[in-house]
Amino acid sequence: MKSQDAALGFHGPHVTRYPTGPDLLTLAEAVMEQCACVERELDKVLQKFLTYGQHCEQSLEELLHYVGQLRAELANAALQGTPLSATLSLVMSQCCRKIKDIVQKLASDHKDIHSSVSRVGKAIDRNFDSEICGVVSDAVWDSREKQQQILQLAIVEHLYQQGMLSVAEELCQESTLNVDLDFKQPFLELNRILEALHEQDLGPALEWAVSHRQRLLELNSSLEFKLHRLHFIRLLAGGPEKQLEALSYARHFQPFARLHQREIQVMMGSLVYLRLGLEKSPYCHLLDSSHWAEICETFTRDACSLLGLSVESPLSVRSLWSELLQPCSLFCSFASGCVALPVLMNIKAVIEQRQCTGVWSHKDELPIEIELGMKCWYHSVFACPILRQQTSDSNPPIKLICGHVISRDALNKLINGGKLKCPYCPMEQNPADGKRIIF
């Protein structure tokens, strides 16, 4: 990275880099002003839509009322058997002309909105860089076909994660995307269990939690306890008739007594008020319906963690600016791209200015670090202290017998006469004894 930094001018007293401190504040103010310009145009369009909608609704209601009155007069004349008078004929002609005029007026007003919408597009073009495809050279990434396949797979995963299974299958067929059954199975199982939870059926979730108990314990998950607690609360809601059954079911709390002693004591204490009714007791909070939403969220989070899936959709952009201010949920690819894009556009300008376009040529490494926040740290990153390079799948970190860690490329460079001497201690060893580390 040193050579890249030097080529980009990131050294010496005159440093050209992504702005920080006051410069970052100035940039943020400029971006906010650009957003405000677009927002003002949007507000104008929304106001026109609102006014047009109200005017359209009022005009149509008046027209329907007028036509209804005319229809009643015609029906009354038909019942009396009298022929259509000249007055009614004139009124009908006027009615047709009135309908035509109102429809033309509404269509004309609707056309006026089009110009306001186009002004929003012009404001976006004027305030933002519309050409973002050139931020990175195509040579850095995979082929267009590969990129399209990755995008389609992300959309399919999003659909599966949202429970839209039939739509995902249809997309796979139309895009000729081959999705392995092993890829689908976790989503199918999660959706089946979540559907049952939404119907307040705890059976499938309990079966799943019991079968994955050991792995959930390794995650310090309280999912199984919360499921048993919710089932116990359902029995409490059944009144005194369910008291014996609730006491019998309480044996399921025994494995969780050490970690959840206080919560178990609360549930046992609620039995005292069962005959009087929990609704008016100090334990009325146990009957709160929010417990079902909480158990769905807990199951989704723990199941995704256990299966190696992101809790967020791969297309998620929710709470993007909140994420920049405080950590609240995981970033996914799209949200991360929104954060990274301004930085990459800035570095592109620096690269072009310094005439060093070949400095970024690796798809698995950016020319500078982009801070996305702790919520995006899916694994630790190791930089080789010898070559000062970040390790990768092709150049993984290797642990030596002495305990020091270097990259595989560094290990190969340090081999001399079939032996390897650790660069940090006197120990000499066989290069084959090094073990790959997976973070």
Report helix angle 165-174 to 144-161, nearest 10.
160
So what's the pLDDT on residue 310? 60
So what's the pLDDT on residue 153? 81
Name every residue whose Cβ is closer than 8 Å to that of residue 311 and which is 6 or more positions away in sequence. Answer: 300, 301, 304, 305, 329, 330
So what's the pLDDT on residue 134? 67
So what's the pLDDT on residue 360? 65
Whole-model pTM: value is: 0.49
Place of tokens 């048993």: 228
Count of helix runs (H) and strand runs (E) in the chain: 15, 6
> Cβ-count burial of 190 within 10 angstroms (0-12 exposed, 13-18 middle, 19+ buried)?
buried
Report the 3 state secondary structure along the chain: CHHHHHHCCCCCCCCCCCCCCHHHHHHHHHHHHHHHHHHHHHHHHHHHHHHHHHHHHHHHHHHHHHHHHHHHHHHHHHHHCCCCCHHHHHHHHHHHHHHHHHHHHHHHHHHHHHHHHHHHHHHHHHHCCCCCHHHCCHHHCCCHHHHHHHHHHHHHHHHHHCCCHHHHHHHHHHCCCCCCHHHHHHHHHHHHHHHHHHCCCCHHHHHHHHHCHHHHHHCCCCHHHHHHHHHHHHHHHCCHHHHHHHHHHHHHHHHHCCCCHHHHHHHHHHHHHCCCCHHHCCCHHHHCCHHHHHHHHHHHHHHHHHHCCCCCCCCCCCCHHHHHHCCCCCCCHHHHHHHHHHHHHHHHHHHHHHCCHHHCCCCCCCCCCCCCCHHHCCCCCCECCCCCCECCCCCCEEECCCCCEEEHHHHHHHEECCEEECCCCCCEECHHHCEECCC
So what's the pLDDT on residue 397? 93
Backbone dihedral region for residue 16 (phi beyond 0: left; psi -120 to 50: alpha; all else: beta): beta
Angle at 344 between CA 151 and CA 124, to 5 degrees: 80
pLDDT tens, position by position, 157-176: 778 877 788 888 888 888 87
pLDDT tens, position by position, 186-231: 888 888 888 898 888 999 999 999 998 888 888 888 899 999 999 9
So what's the pLDDT on residue 399? 92
Written as one letter, the residue type at 114 is H
* Contact assessment for residue 414 and residue 421, using Cβ atoms and an 8 Å cutoff: yes
Q: Give the closest residue to 246 by CA, choosing from 264, 268, 262, 222.
A: 268
So what's the pLDDT on residue 406? 92
So what's the pLDDT on residue 405? 92
Q: Which residues of the chain have pLDDT under 70?
A: 1-31, 84, 129-134, 136-142, 308-333, 357-365, 373-380
So what's the pLDDT on residue 162? 73
Rounded-to-integer distance, Cα 145 and Cα 153, Å:
12
So what's the pLDDT on residue 320? 35
* Contact assessment for residue 389 and residue 369, using Cβ atoms and an 8 Å cutoff: no
